[in-house]
Amino acid sequence: MLALAGRLREFGHTAVLCAPPDFAGRASALGVEYVPVGPTLRSTARPGAEPTPEQRRLLVEGTVAAQFEAVGAATGCDVVVGGGGLAIAARSIAESLAVPYVYVAFAPMTLPSPQHAPPVFGDAVGDGDNATAWERDRAMWNGVWRAPLNAARARRGLGEVDDVRDHLFTDHPWLAADPVLAPWPGGPDLTVFQPGAWLVDDTRPLDPGLEAFLDAGDPPVYLGFGSARAPEGLAREAIQAARALGRRVIVSRGWADLSPLDDQPDCLSIGEVSHQALLPRVAAVIQHGGAGTTTAAARAGVPQVVVPQMFDQFYYARRVRELDLGETAARVSELGTALARALTPATAATARAVGPRIGTDGADVAIARLLGTPKTVRADTRNSS
C-alpha cells in the first residue's frame, strides 16, 4: 500500500494512507499523507498469554471502530483501496461515501480458489479438501467480524452484510504479487487482476559503516525478520550456520531485536535498511517469508532461506523452494543444512536468472487500471486518494 501511495503522489495525485502507527516514519519519508488507525502492530504482536474471549471481543470491536473513525481521511476521494485481511471497514466507508472500492490481496492463497487451501496461523495444517477448508474459512470470518461490522454499519444507516469475506474481497479482487513468484492459480468464482508486486523505489543510500563492512570481504549472509516475531535461537543458529560456511553475517535488528552473538568483526548489526540497495550485494538472505522481503530478495537475484512463522509466509517459503530460489527451514536447527543448500552454485545461478524476471512496475500498472489512464500517468491528471 505504501508503494502505491508513493507512486500516486509522484504522478501528482493525492493519496492518503490509513494504517497502523508503525508506518508513520516510512510514509513521512515518501511524503505520503498519513492517518494512523488502531494500535501499533508491534504491540499486538508481542508474545504473551493467549487473550481471553473478552479481550478478543474488545480487540475486534476496537479494530472496526477505529477504521470507521478514519472515514474523514476518505472524504472527497475518488476511490477507496482496501488491502489485506484486516481492512474490515474499507468497503463500508466507500459505500457510505458512494465511491468505488477495490480490494487488494498480497498473496494468492488468501483468495478463495479450489486450487489451494486458505491460509492458516502458526504451522497448523488444515485437513479435508480445499472446498471444505474454504467453507470453514468463511465461517471463521463471519464468526469473528459479522456482528461488530453490522453493528457499526447500522449506526451509519448501511444495510447488513451476510458474508463478510465475500463483502470484503468482492468478486473482482486485485492481487499485488509478482506473477513469476506468486501466480494466481485460477478459480471459478473470482475475476482476479494481477498487476504485479507493489515495490517502493527505495533509493536511500547505505550507511558508511555498512558500506565498509561489505567492501571488507566476500558477500555476507543477511539475516532479517522485519516486523515478524522470530523463533527462539534464530540469530544464534543463523550466525553459527554462516560461520561454519566461512561467511560473514549482517544482522538486521527488526522488531524481533535480533543481535549478534558476540563482538567478532565478522558480524554487523544494523537497523532499517534499503533492501533495494543491500540485497544485491549479499550472498544469501535468511528471512521469515513475508511477501515484501521474499519479492525483494528474488528481485535482487540472491538465494534465500525462509523460516516461516505464520499465514502467507508458508506459501512464500514453498514458492522459494519450488522455483529453486533457496531453501526452507521449518526449525532453526535446520538452518545450517538449509543455508548450505541455498549457497550451492546451482541455486545461486537460478536465483540470478530469475531476478530480472521479477517486475518492478506493479504499482504503475495498478494506477493505470485504477484511474483508467495510460500506464504513463501524468501529474496533471485528476486527483485520487
Domain boundaries, the chain: 37-194, 208-357
pLDDT at 45: 54
Amino acid code (one letter) for 245: L
Q: Dihedral of CA 299/300/305/311: which sign?
A: negative
Beta bridge partners of 221: 249, 284
CATH 3.40.50.12780 applies to domain 37-194 = no
Buried b (16+ CB within 10 A) or exposed e, 218-227: eebbbbbbbb
Helix (H) or strand (E) holding 251: strand 249-252
Q: How far apart are CA 323 and CA 301, in angstroms?
A: 12
Give the separation between CA 114 and CA 176, rounded to whole angstroms: 20
Can 37-194 and 208-357 be said to share one CATH topology?
yes
Spell out the long-range contacts of 115-124 with Cβ–Cβ below 8 A and sequence spacing 24 or more: 115/185, 115/186, 115/187, 116/185, 119/311, 119/312, 119/314, 119/315, 120/311, 120/314, 121/310, 121/311, 122/309, 122/310, 123/308, 123/309, 123/314, 123/330
H-only helix segments in 228-278: 234-244, 275-278
pLDDT of residue 86: 85
Q: How far apart are CA 87 and CA 100, in angstroms?
A: 15
CB 116 within 8 A of CB 130: yes
The pLDDT score that the predictor gives to residue 48 is: 54
CATH of domain 208-357: 3.40.50.2000
Other Cβ atoms less than 10 A from the Cβ of 44: the count is 12
Q: What is the block-wise mean pLDDT of the chain (385 residues), using blocks of 10 residues?
A: 92 90 85 85 60 81 89 89 90 95 96 91 61 94 96 96 96 97 94 96 94 97 85 90 96 85 92 94 96 96 95 94 96 94 97 97 94 47 30
The DSSP letter of residue 351 is H
Alpha helices in the chain (DSSP H): 2-10, 24-29, 41-44, 53-69, 90-97, 130-141, 147-155, 164-169, 208-215, 234-244, 275-278, 291-300, 313-322, 335-342, 345-354, 362-371
Residues with Cβ within 8 Å of 356's Cβ and at least 6 positions away in sequence, in order, are: 301
pLDDT at 285: 98
